[in-house]
Amino acid sequence: MEPKIGITKKDLNTSVDFLTVVLANEMLLYVKTRKFHWNVSGNSFMELHKLFEEHYTQLEHTIDEIAERISKLGAKAIGTMQEFIDHATLKENSKVVEQKDMINELLSDHETTLKQLRDYIKEIEETNDYGTADFLTALLQSHETQAWTVRKYMNK
């Protein structure tokens, strides 16, 4: 049943399309962060091991919230790895990389996500979907924090 919440069908579809990309990117970032958690070594090993665990735990919670937001808007969330890959704008990491490369890649992904979220928020604010705009704004703030904490390791 289509929700009758003061948002046009077209605008609901726009929000769901944006949220689907965000969901896919969050899943790819989750998997990448988890992989780096498993494979980090070298200086700052324990710090980064714990930091990556904290980040993927936050991402796991975020992924669930995004899927629920999609459902609240009357749509079905994607859920297969192929769907995530097909909808994501971030790229998988298919090789084992050194600690410095992990940090650079995670920072780049968070910064890419931040830019994309800002664009989506701007477009969604032009509709009546203030709930999704607020939701994405909170997600943007979370990525700002994660980018900031990863950035602190750039010169170590």
pLDDT tens by residue, 28-47: 999 999 999 999 999 899 99
Q: How far apart are CA 68 and CA 46, in angstroms?
A: 33
Residue 154, pLDDT score:
86
Residue 156, pLDDT score:
57
Confidence band (pLDDT; 50, 70, 90) for 2? Answer: confident
Residue type, 64: D
Q: How far apart are CA 50 and CA 18, in angstroms?
A: 31
Max Cα distance, the chain (Å): 54
64-97 residue pLDDT tens? 999 999 999 999 999 999 999 999 999 998 887 8
pTM for this one? 0.95
Concatenate the DSSP letters of all residues of 32-92 into one string: HHHHHHHH--STTHHHHHHHHHHHHHHHHHHHHHHHHHHHHTT-----SHHHHHHH-SS--
Q: How far apart are CA 33 and CA 49, in angstroms?
A: 10
113-148 residue pLDDT tens? 999 999 999 999 999 899 999 999 999 999 999 999
